[in-house]
Each structure stands twice: as structure tokens, then as C-alpha cells.
Amino acid sequence: MKIKLLCLVIFFNFSVYATSNEILNENQIHKNLRCLVCQGQSISDSNSEFAQTLKMVVKDLIKQGKTEDEIYNFLSDKYGDWILYKPKFNYENFLLWSFPYLVLVFGGFIIVFLIKKRQKKT
């Protein structure tokens, strides 16, 4: 009896965990997908026909076992990178991703230069 109860508890916990994980992933994906017919909204925030359709498609793709990246790739093939709030890291977006780091390095370089210059004066 105890073993049966234990199995039931484990099964219940596992299904709750699996469900919450699926919901989390779905919401996470929805938040990164732009509603193309709305003004600055993700499909997570929108109830438009287009957003509802995309939510269904994302659900289906998750059920088919597609990963988050595979879903993004599928949708950006159909609608372009504009559908993604977080742009992909590719050669077209290389500068977009690397520019803040370049500015950081360049800024550091200037600071070091100014400090050295000040030290020389004193």
C-alpha cells in the first residue's frame, strides 16, 4: 500500500513538473515572438488572430519535440528575423551583438590612456 502511494506521489509530482516546464517554455517562446500585426507586442501579450494562430503552432511544434531554437528557425524562415525579439547571432547581426563589447574595450582603452597621461603630468 505504501509503495503504491509512493508511486502515485512520484507520478503526480512528475506530471506537475512536466506540465509546469512545458508552460514555462511555451510562455518563454511566446514572449520572444513579435506579433506582426500588433503595435510593439509579443504574441504573449496579444489576443489577435495572428497571435492565437502562432500560439497554436508553437504548441504543436513543442509537442513534435522541436527545441526552442528549431521553433525560432522555423518561424524566422517564414517571417524573417523580425519575428524574433532577440535577434539571432549570425554574420548579419554580428555587429549588433559585438558592438557593446567593442565600445566597452574602447572605453577601457581610453580610460587607461587618460590615467597614464595624468600620471605622466604629475
> Alpha-carbon distance 93 to 85, whole Å?
13
Window of 7-15, 22-30, 63-71, 105-113 that interacts with other proteins by CB under 8 A:
105-113
3 state SS of 93: coil
24 is a site residue for other proteins (CB under 8 A): no
11 is a site residue for other proteins (CB under 8 A): no
Amino acid symbol at 73: N
Judged by CB under 8 A, the residue of 25, 26, 36, 42 near other proteins is 36
The grid cell for 7 is 508511486
60 is a site residue for other proteins (CB under 8 A): yes
Judged by CB under 8 A, the residue of 63, 78, 120, 121 near other proteins is 78
> Alpha-carbon distance 1 to 24, whole Å?
34
37 is a site residue for other proteins (CB under 8 A): yes
Taking only Cα atoms into account, the Rg of the chain, rounded to an integer number of angstroms, comes to: 24
Place of cell 547571432: 89
Count of residues of this chain found to bind other proteins when the rule CB under 8 A is applied: 20
Amino acid symbol at 43: I
Q: Which residues bind other proteins (CB under 8 A)?
A: 36-37, 49-50, 52-54, 56-57, 60, 75, 78-80, 82, 103, 106, 109-110, 113
